[in-house]
Amino acid sequence: GITRPLVEAARKQGVDLHTSAAMEDFIRDENGRVIGLVVREKFNFLQKDSGLVLNYGARKGIVIASGGFSQNVQFRKAIDPSLDEKLESTNHPGATGECLMAMLALGAMPIQLDQIQLGPWSSPDERGFGLVSQFNTIAGFPKGIMVDCRTGRRFVDELADRKARSDAILNQIDENGKPVYPICFVDSEGVKLAQTLKNGLKYGVIRKFDTLEELAKAYGIPADNLIKQVNEFNEYVRNGKDEQFNRPLALAVEITKAPFYAARVWPKVHYCMGGVAINNRAQVLNVRDLKPIPGLYAAGEVTGGTHGASRLGGCAIADGLVTGRTAGAQVAAEPSQNLS
């Protein structure tokens, strides 16, 4: 809904888009100015040395807008050892950070690389962002509840910030340190706006139950505890106050109308708040003197410091637009360089 219209608009403006291309390195002149890129065209991302190596010159400058590195397990583990192979990512397979690392090698100032956000709405039953994420975001968390399947009780505010929810879910482990996946569920009234419900049911990552007792049995939840928890929550909704976790209840509905829809939950690595330092002209700053690296600009998730410790949902688009427009305007105003 966002990327495809932007691609089409760019093509109409005459932008030359190169897919299946991987950046290898920067090219600099004798004064240290960035004047080009080494790129592998027709690159197969499953074959490291595939493709055709070409050099591209940049007469005005280069804008790096390559996103985060959540799919680079080795790199993210070096920054935060807790983000190991046990955690998947919601991102596309190419979010591996080569451009970020090339800028760091060039001398770019790193900012808050260890601030990496997990998506608390994901499911262990599917790869990538998946179908459950939208189900939980639109229905499960705002209109349903999430419970520990061992107790049938809630354990966190379902609308807390992403870090608070992710940390609480990751604490759901057994005596051997293995995940005990929480269950998020909602009734037929609360699920009405969940666009991925149909496909989630089709692929079995969301399940449908006629009664709460059936739901409890399917996930090994103590039925009496679960029903008691639901009744307590419904009372909170009627009274307008969550006595357990002080969750805002403006969007909540009583969980009463069968059928009920449920999914298992486990966080995935989602967004890298850290990146390289830029100034208000989107110029990348050198770590030694905090002066701009000539010819190098950056925008979006590859930059650091904008979002602090936990990005607010939706702000990444605004970040990309603001820093992208800034970088584009600045690099267009640069005097053309003689690359001969």
| CA distance to 68, 78, 113, 116, per residue, from 308 (Å) | 15, 20, 11, 10
**Which pLDDT belongs to residue 46?**
81
pLDDT along the chain (340 residues), means of 10: 92 94 94 95 89 95 96 95 92 92 97 95 95 97 98 98 94 94 98 96 98 98 98 98 97 96 97 96 97 98 90 88 96 88
Q: What is the pLDDT of residue 102?
A: 97
pLDDT at 179: 95
CA-nearest of 264, 236, 232, 231 to 252 is: 236
| Token pair in block for residue 170 | 């990751």
Q: Supply the pLDDT for residue 154.
A: 98
Residues 6+ apart with CB under 8 A from 262: 183, 184, 185, 186, 206, 207, 209, 215, 218, 219
| Domains of the chain, start order | 3-117+270-332 (3.50.50.60), 121-266 (3.90.700.10)
Q: Catalytic: 150? A: no
> Count of CB atoms within 10 A of residue 58's CB?
21
What DSSP character marks residue 180? -
> What is the distance between the alpha carbons of residues 158 and 107, in angstroms, rounded to a whole number?
41
Q: In whole angstroms, what is the distance from residue 217 CA to residue 322 CA?
A: 50
Q: pTM for this structure?
A: 0.89
| DSSP-H helix ranges across 139-263 | 141-143, 162-170, 197-202, 212-219, 223-239
Which of these is catalytic: 40, 76, 162, 311? 162
- Closest by Cα among 244, 218, 219 to 230: 244
